[in-house]
Amino acid sequence: MLDQLHIRDERSEDADAVHALLKAAFGPDDPAVPPLVDSLRRNNRLSVALVAEAGGVLIAFAAASEAWAQHGEADIAAIAPVAVVPAFQRKGIGTRLMREVLDRCRRAGFEAAVVLGDPAFYSRVGFTPATEAHLHCGWCDGPAFQAIALQPGALERIDGLVEYDPCFDECN
């Protein structure tokens, strides 16, 4: 089935399947994720929304929305969420999906991206601790908050608190 993996833009008819996928991937540990994506979608705030399907079944989802740094000038993408249904985790799908999301963000004009997640996973695609770029998150300033330059020098042009789309506040 994985040799048939296809990554594509999310379509409106995928919304229910994506919601179910997010519930399966995040489970009871993070029940705010599916409503967050619903809110971002409803408010037309998803800059990038991709699904991965295999055999006609959606098995992964990743999205990006706009974020802003307190100081400096650079267009920042907030990568959230990234989800792979449990039966397909640890098979390289998330890494392939992240590479595609970052490429789409770059093509959409974003100069940098931030993410809140497992450093072991996100470092595989080039993320480093955001504190090294003097960026901070209101929810977490530990190693889980990470950044990557999508254009040369982008992280040197920004610093301070990174603000996410207001939809994130509604769902936290």
Read off the pLDDT of residues 63-85 as tens digits, 9 standing for 90 and up.
999 999 999 888 999 999 999 99
Q: Residue 171's pLDDT is what?
A: 65
Instruction: Name residues of the chain where pLDDT drops below 50.
Output: none
CA 157 vs CA 9, 16, 25, 69, 88: distances in Å: 30, 39, 35, 10, 38
For the entire predicted model, the pTM comes to 0.93
**What does the alpha-carbon distance between residue 78 and residue 164 come to, in Å, rounded to a whole number?**
7
**CATH class, range 2-170:** alpha beta
Domain ranges of the chain: 2-170
